[in-house]
Amino acid sequence: MAEMQISRRDIDSLADKLARLEPELTPPERALLLFMLGVAADSINRSDADEYAGALVSATNDQSVPVVVSMTESVPSIEDEFAKAFTPAAAGGVQLLRGSIGPGPAD
Amino acid sequence: MHPPQATAEERAAWPVVLVSMPFLEVYRPSIQIALLKAIGAAHGFPVRTLHAHLDLAAAVGVDLYQQLSEHRGRLLGEWLFSVEAFGAAAPDPDARHAVELAGTHLAERLVRVRRETVPAYLDALVDTYDWSSVRVVGFSSTFQQNTASIALARRLKRRWPHLLTLFGGANFEGEMGLEYVRAADSVDLAVIGEGDAAFPLLLEALAAGADLGSVPGLARRVEDRVEATPATPPSEQLDHLPFPDYAEYFERAETLGLLTVADRPEVGIPFESARGCWWGAKHHCTFCGLNGETMRFRSRSADRVLDELAHQARTYGSFRFDAVDNILDMRYLSTLVPRLAEYDFDVFYEVKANLSRAQLSSLAQAGVRRLQPGIESLSSRVLTLMRKGVRAAQNVNLLRWAQYYGMHVEWNLLWGFPGETEEDYAEQASIIPDLVHLRPPAGASRIWLERFSPLFTETDLADLRYRAPERSYSYVYPDTVDLNRAAYFFEYSLKEPLPDSAYDGVRDGIAQWTAAWQADQLPLLTYRAAPGLVHIYDGRYPDRAGTYTFRDTLAHIYLACTDRPVTAAAVQRGLPPGLPDDFVEQAFKEFQQRGLMFLDGSMGLALALPAVPGK
């Protein structure tokens, strides 16, 4: 699945909207929202954060501050991703899938 | 007023022999004479075929004969028969051009064939076949069958002056046929254009004693001039034509020891499902020599095609079929092809190169495993100059998926087009090393200028410094033949030609590509994918083999370009927002720099094939 870059402005905007929404929520709704945000934060934290080019979101036990957001370092460049993409075959190693693709029956 | 009708007895009194002379391929019967035989028989005429080219193959050996029949350069086969065709008027009686035409390795042997084997071969044909009751001898002449046909006609008419000789085929299209009728005494009559209608009408007129001037599309000498009647428009309907009768080919090949019954499944039986070219009717490729009348596209019904293939398989025991069509009827992809999948045939078709992966998969399932897609170039700019109507990325994509589905693709790379630049060939040379895991071209060369092609007929298209019949015609035909009217191939020079060195990079690249396909280990470039991940194994060059790993966005970009060429903008639209506007373009360039992607303008095409077969 493709990742999405999240900016500081996105996080501030979402926090503002949730803060405005809070007075209208019933206690169960507020608990549900916090649960959902917690699940989302756990999910993101379980992923390989170094692979992501955006924000980290983490849960906290303090329900008065339901979500704490912090930014990672800058987005890795395409050049960097390509530079580390290649793994040379071991000398004399097994050739992958030899024969699975080949010439047609006329050969 | 209707022309006179012959009675059954009168028709029976006009036996016809239709002859196929060298250099038709050995392991391929002639659809031309086999079809006309069936048409003549359907009209009540006693028509036989004589695949006489087989006798020469038996005489000189199959290996040498095949070298000659597959020869696509100078008119070597025509030269072998020219003395027998034209006698003392033939040029080069002393075979001074043997080395130039055949090369030093073959010259001496071919001089002997010309002086000894060919006369003996013709004598044997005249002596061993019962010509006494034959009234008409017909010759189908295509490619290098012309002088051998004229030579046998000359010998036959010397021995049996009553025989009427009839010629037809591609060598007699348009003014070429008129010139041969004018200049060659042994050519009595020629059908100019399609013979399906003219042939039975001619026999009918002969049997009824009617005026031959009533036969459409017929050329003949009348006193000191050539008269030709207008041809009827090519038939729109092809379903009514009978099945070609190949029985005599198999009998003769087996009698001569060229085939055994056990070989029959491997003989490619020609069949015709369509005539003309639907692409050429709209945009005539600039180098293509199909002429205006024969360009109009017509095809048979799927039922009729299937009936013929089933009949021929049952009759001759072969499962290998070669379509003689210029281009696949795209309607067959939904009509004929799904039903062909129910049979176990091995089928050849010429196709346009813009077929999709799904279409190629369907064709492969149907047993269409030999293709000639007319690729011609790996440069979209040069393809535009040719009016091919495909892009280079489509050509490469066809090579990819045809290979994945186990299809053999026959293709060539051509140059010599007005407007091409050195950069066009430098670019092609630079991308060839990335393509070595795909099947290389069978050849790469300058185009030959063909009569009827736009480069020949449209003077504003080709800015030529000179144009002349290809030189070896003058080694074959006497100077009484006007080669400007008789030749099909022409030499030419552009007013501003590229230096020949402009093509060196392409030549060298293809030589290395071809060598790589002759090695024990074929070059490989394959991928395996999972959500958010692609592994690309690059085994094209053993000293640089390894695996690329791309995740998430880059994996998505690569996999988006595996089925077909896709523009960077289209790929970008499929990605989440927030990425830099040129993200995909940058990724395309990085993939290209590693030889993993082919870029064609704004389009990218992944070059790797799925590692897992059969999808």
Sheet bearing B609-610, strands edge to edge: A86-88, B546-551, B533-539, B524-530, B609-610
First to last CA, chain B: 63
B395 plus B456 within the same structural domain? yes
User: Which single residue is written with the structure tokens 């290998």?
Assistant: B320
Chain B residues in contact with A103 (beta carbon < 8 A): 403, 408, 439, 517, 522
Q: Is B255 domain-assigned?
A: no
pLDDT of residue B525: 98
B479 plus B555 within the same structural domain? no
How high is the mean pLDDT of chain B?
95
pLDDT of residue B290: 84
Chain B interface, best mutation among A8, A11, A75, A78, by max B CB count within 10 A: A78
Chain A residues in contact with B578 (beta carbon < 8 A): 4-7
The predicted model gives B460-481 an average pLDDT of 92
Contact status of B320 with chain A (Cβ, < 8 Å): no
B309 plus B184 within the same structural domain? no
| C-alpha distance from B30 to closest chain A C-alpha (Å) | 22
pLDDT of residue B383: 98
B471 plus B577 within the same structural domain? no
Q: Count residue pairs from A and B with Cβ separation < 8 A.
A: 102
Dist. CA B533–CA B527, nearest whole Å: 10
Per-residue b or e along B202-211, where b marks 16 or more CB atoms closer than 10 Å to that residue's CB: bbbbbbbebe
User: Which single residue is written with the structure tokens 């044997």?
Assistant: B124
Per-residue b or e along B284-308, where b marks 16 or more CB atoms closer than 10 Å to that residue's CB: bbbbbbbbebbbbbebbebebbbeb
Whether B603 and B565 have beta carbons less than 8 Å apart is answered as yes
B467 versus B292: the higher-pLDDT residue is: B467
Chain A interface, best mutation among B361, B556, B583, B590, by max A CB count within 10 A: B590
The predicted model gives B465-478 an average pLDDT of 94
Q: Is B245 domain-assigned?
A: no
Dist. CA B268–CA B322, nearest whole Å: 6
Q: Is B529 domain-assigned?
A: yes
| C-alpha distance from A6 to closest chain B C-alpha (Å) | 8
Distance (Å) of CA A24 to CA A18, A37, A68, B454, B503: 10, 18, 22, 77, 76
Q: Is B236 domain-assigned?
A: no
pLDDT of residue B569: 96
B41 plus B173 within the same structural domain? yes
Q: What DSSP string runs through B286-318?
A: TT----HHHHS-EE--HHHHHHHHHHHHHHH--
Structure tokens at B6: 């012959």
Which of B489, B516, B543 is the last residue before a domain boundary?
B516
The predicted model gives B333-359 an average pLDDT of 98
B169: left (phi over 0), alpha (psi -120 to 50) or beta: left
Dist. CA B88–CA B210, nearest whole Å: 36
B512 plus B534 within the same structural domain? no
B490 plus B573 within the same structural domain? no
Q: Is B130 domain-assigned?
A: yes
E-only strand ranges, B239-367:
268-271, 274-275, 298-299, 320-323, 346-350
| pLDDT per position as a tens digit, B218-277 | 999 999 899 999 998 888 899 999 999 999 999 999 999 999 999 999 899 999 999 999
Please name the residues in contact with B477: beta carbons below 8 A apart, sequence gap of 6 or more. B82, B86, B91, B147, B483, B486
Pairing relationship of beta strands B164-168 and B189-191 according to DSSP bridges: parallel
Range 331-350 of B in CB contact (< 8 A) with A: 346
Torsion of CA B426, B430, B435, B440, to 10 degrees: 40
| pLDDT per position as a tens digit, B274-332 | 999 999 999 999 999 987 667 999 999 999 999 999 999 999 999 999 999 999 999 99
Q: Do A86 and B612 touch (CB under 8 A)?
A: no
| pLDDT per position as a tens digit, A24-83 | 776 666 666 666 655 554 444 444 333 333 333 433 444 444 443 443 444 558 999 999
CA-only gyration radius of chain A, Å: 23
Q: Is the pLDDT of residue B204 over 90?
A: yes
Q: Do B537 and A96 touch (CB under 8 A)?
A: yes
| Residue of A4, A51, A106 lying closest to B578 (CB–CB) | A4
The predicted model gives B533-541 an average pLDDT of 98
The predicted model gives B384-408 an average pLDDT of 98
Chain A residues in contact with B537 (beta carbon < 8 A): 96-97
B179 plus B74 within the same structural domain? yes
Residue B352: DSSP 8-state: -
Chain A interface, best mutation among B408, B518, B571, B615, by max A CB count within 10 A: B408
B127 plus B105 within the same structural domain? yes
Distance (Å) of CA A21 to CA A29, A31, A33, A68, B280: 11, 13, 11, 17, 67
The band of B575, judged by pLDDT with boundaries at 50, 70 and 90, is: very high
Q: Which amino acid is it at B529?
A: A
The predicted model gives B455-467 an average pLDDT of 88
CATH of the domain at B605: 1.10.10
| Residue of A1, A78, A82 lying closest to B532 (CB–CB) | A1
Range 352-391 of B in CB contact (< 8 A) with A: 369-370
E-only strand ranges, B142-240:
164-168, 189-191, 218-222, 225-228
Q: In 3-state terms, what secondary structure has residue B111?
A: helix
Chain A residues in contact with B404 (beta carbon < 8 A): 101
Q: Is B241 domain-assigned?
A: no
Range 137-156 of B in CB contact (< 8 A) with A: none
pTM confidence score:
0.86
* The total number of structural domains that make up chain B: 3
At B492, which helix (H) or strand (E)? Answer: strand B489-494
By C-alpha distance, which of B313, B368, B382 is closest to B339?
B368
B487 plus B603 within the same structural domain? no
Give the nearest chain B residue to A54 (CA atoms): B578
Which of B181, B204, B228 is the last residue before a domain boundary?
B228
Structure tokens at B273: 């499902």
Q: Name the burial class of residue B473, with classes exposed (0-12), middle (13-18) and buried (19+) by CB atoms within 10 angstroms of its CB.
A: buried
Q: Name the burial class of residue A17, with classes exposed (0-12), middle (13-18) and buried (19+) by CB atoms within 10 angstroms of its CB.
A: exposed
Q: Do B577 and A87 touch (CB under 8 A)?
A: no
Q: Do A104 and B370 touch (CB under 8 A)?
A: yes
**What is the residue range of B600's domain?**
524-610
Give the nearest chain A residue to B553 (CA atoms): A2
The helices-and-strands tally (H runs, E runs) of chain B is 27, 26
Q: Do B524 and A86 touch (CB under 8 A)?
A: no
Structure tokens at B237: 């309907």
By C-alpha distance, which of B116, B117, B98, B115 is closest to B107?
B98
Contact status of B266 with chain A (Cβ, < 8 Å): no
Range 507-566 of B in CB contact (< 8 A) with A: 517, 521-522, 524, 526, 531-532, 537, 539, 544-554, 556
CA-only gyration radius of chain B, Å: 27
Identify residues of A whose CB sits under 8 angstroms from chain B CBs. 1-7, 51, 78-79, 81-82, 85-89, 95-98, 100-107
Which of B197, B228, B259 is the last residue before a domain boundary?
B228
Q: Do B521 and A98 touch (CB under 8 A)?
A: yes
B406: left (phi over 0), alpha (psi -120 to 50) or beta: left
Q: Is B373 domain-assigned?
A: yes
pLDDT of residue A28: 63
Give the nearest chain A residue to B539 (CA atoms): A95
Residue B66: DSSP 8-state: H
B322 plus B195 within the same structural domain? no
Q: Is B260 domain-assigned?
A: no
Helices B62-69 & B53-60, crossing angle to 10 degrees? 130
User: Which single residue is written with the structure tokens 């009698």?
Assistant: B255
B337 plus B209 within the same structural domain? no
| C-alpha distance from B334 to closest chain A C-alpha (Å) | 24
User: Which single residue is written with the structure tokens 């830099």?
Assistant: B580
Q: Is the pLDDT of residue A6 over 70?
A: no
Cα-based angle B486, B294, B36 (whole degrees, multiple of 5): 85
Q: Is the pLDDT of residue A103 over 70?
A: no
| C-alpha distance from A62 to closest chain B C-alpha (Å) | 32
